[in-house]
Every structure is written in structure tokens, then in C-alpha cells.
Amino acid sequence: MFSIGEFANHGRVSVRMLRHYDAIGLLRPARVDASSGYRYYEASQLSALNRIIALRDLGFGLEQVQSMLDENVSVAQLQGMLRLRRADLEASLVAEAAQLTRVEARLRIIESEGRMPTHEVVIKRLDLIRVVELTDVAASFTPEDIGPVIKPLCAELGQRLAAAAIEPTGRLIAYYEQSPREDDEVVIHAAVPVADGSHAAGGLAIADVPAAEQAATIVHRGSMDQVLPTVDALARWIDVNGYRAVGFPRELYIECPEDEAHWVTELQQPIAPA
């Protein structure tokens, strides 16, 4: 018979742990003194303790450990739990490796630029959005070419929405479709979300902006004339963190007051692992 302290010593666990395992019924002492409450363990219980430690060290929770030690658990169930654990571990390893990549990317940036990045990139999921939209084309994907096309396009969109009495359910979205031709031409979509049952009206097209499992996003503050550095930062981030762009880039117009210098927009780029 061992006292709790001796048993803890042999098992390389804390006394508190043994008390905890007693409390949850995972490992009951062989004997408990009725008057003092002292716990006493038998040497043979070391095997039981070791089984618990071994399973816990595979990453199972104590409740799962308890069920795995149950005599009535089948081999198939044990296999199932181990396979699930394996899958969880594999997912966790991938996630942590990605986190490490991002930490290292940030260390490189801090070394080369001497400060933390000011443009923060965040990965989000984008849901499918039902929109009404107008489209036009621009000669290239630079603010100089986009600006003169998108501004009248948005104004026109606003007028037609009012004329057709359509109530948008969200804010303006622009997305940019690379022309199938080999030149730089892009098709610009100016769109607003509408309720699911909406119909085309007033010369406006109904469309679905597709969902994206992962999109890298960045907030741009200020005039869209100055958007290029933000676009570049987003592109570099995607590259440095081991992703690639897989769909149309989008802009979400979050706040557009009179003074364009105070605009807040979010650039979104669907991505996939490179």
C-alpha cells in the first residue's frame, strides 16, 4: 500500500492529479481511511495509472480516457476514436504549420521594413451573394483606368435602383473579371445585394457573386485613387503566405462619405493553398 504521496512519486504525477482522478472516478484508491480520509493505493494500480497517462498523452480528454478503459468498449470503437484523434492531430498540425508560416512571414517583414505591417490581412469565408448589377469594361486593372469607368457606373446603378424601386440589402460591391482575351482589359461589375426572390428590372442584371471558402481581405482607408499600395500589400501577403488567387478580386464599399479621403473599403481576394 502506498500513501498518495508515494504513489504520486512512483507514477511521476502530482498529488493533485490523483485527487482529481479520484474525484471524477477515473482512478479510485484501493482503500480510503474512513476517519482520516487518507487515500491508499496498491502497487498494482500503477498499471492503471500508466494506462491513463499513456492515453492522456495521446491527446485524449479524461472523459474519453475513461470510456476507452471501460471493459465494454469494443475494438471497433477504440479504432474509431484513434482514427478520429489521428485526423484531429493531422488537421492541427496543418493549422499550426500555417500559423508558423505567418509568424515567420511577419518576422521577415519586420526585419526588412523595420516595423509591423500597417495593412493587416485577414482570411475570411465569403458567402454567395445574390446581386443586381451593371457591367462595363476598363482598359486595365489600374486606378487610372478603373476610376473613370466605375464612378459613372455606380452613379447609374444608383439611379436605376431608385427608378426600379429596388431596396438593396447591403452595400455596394465591385468585382473585376479578367477578360478572356489576352490583353489587360477587365470587365467591371458594380453590384448591390438584393433579397433572394428579386427579379431583373430597369435594365439591371441579376447575378450571383460566388462564395469562397477562403478569401484574403484587407481594409483600405482613403480615396480609391490611392488603392494601389493596398492592392500590392494584399498580393504580396498572398504570395508570402503560400496561397494563390483563385477568383475575381472584389471591393466592398463599407463607408463612402462625400469626402473620398474618408472612404473605407475592403478588398477581397479568394485564395487557395499554392
- The answer to the question of residue 56 lying near DNA (CB under 7 A) is yes
Kindly list the distances between the CA atom of residue 137 and the CA atoms of 17, 94, 188, 247, in Å, as whole numbers in the listed order.
68, 41, 6, 18
DSSP code at position 259: S
Site string for a copy of itself, 124-163 (x = CB under 8 A): xx--------------------------------------
Please tell me whether residue 38 binds DNA under the rule CB under 7 A. yes
Q: How many residues does the chain have?
A: 274
Are the C-beta atoms of 215 and 270 separated by less than 8 Å?
yes
Question: Cβ closer to a copy of itself: 56 or 160?
Answer: 56
User: Can you spell out the DSSP letters for 141-197?
Assistant: SSHHHHHHHHHHHHHHHHHHHHHTT---SS--EEEEEE-SSSSS-EEEEEEEE--TT
Amino acid at 79: Q
Among 1, 10, 16, 184, binds DNA (CB under 7 A): 16
Element (H, E) at 78: helix 75-113
Task: Indicate whether 19 belongs to the interface with DNA (CB under 7 A).
Answer: yes
Site for a copy of itself in 63-122 (CB under 8 A): 68, 75, 78-79, 82-83, 85-86, 89-90, 92-93, 96-97, 99-100, 102-104, 106-107, 110-111, 114-116, 120-122
Least distance to DNA from the beta carbon of 146, Å?
A: 33
* CB 45, min distance to a copy of itself, A: 9
Q: Nearest Cα to 3, choosing from 15, 20, 21?
A: 15
Out of 36, 72, 74, 112, name the contact with DNA by CB under 7 A.
36
Could you tell me if 183 and 263 are in contact, meaning their C-beta atoms sit under 8 angstroms apart?
Answer: no
Among 48, 58, 62, 105, binds DNA (CB under 7 A): 62
Calculate Rg over the CA atoms of the chain.
Answer: 30
In the complex, which residues of this chain contact a copy of itself (CB under 8 A)? 10, 12, 43-44, 46-47, 50-51, 53-54, 57-59, 68, 75, 78-79, 82-83, 85-86, 89-90, 92-93, 96-97, 99-100, 102-104, 106-107, 110-111, 114-116, 120-125, 217-219, 221, 254-255, 264, 266
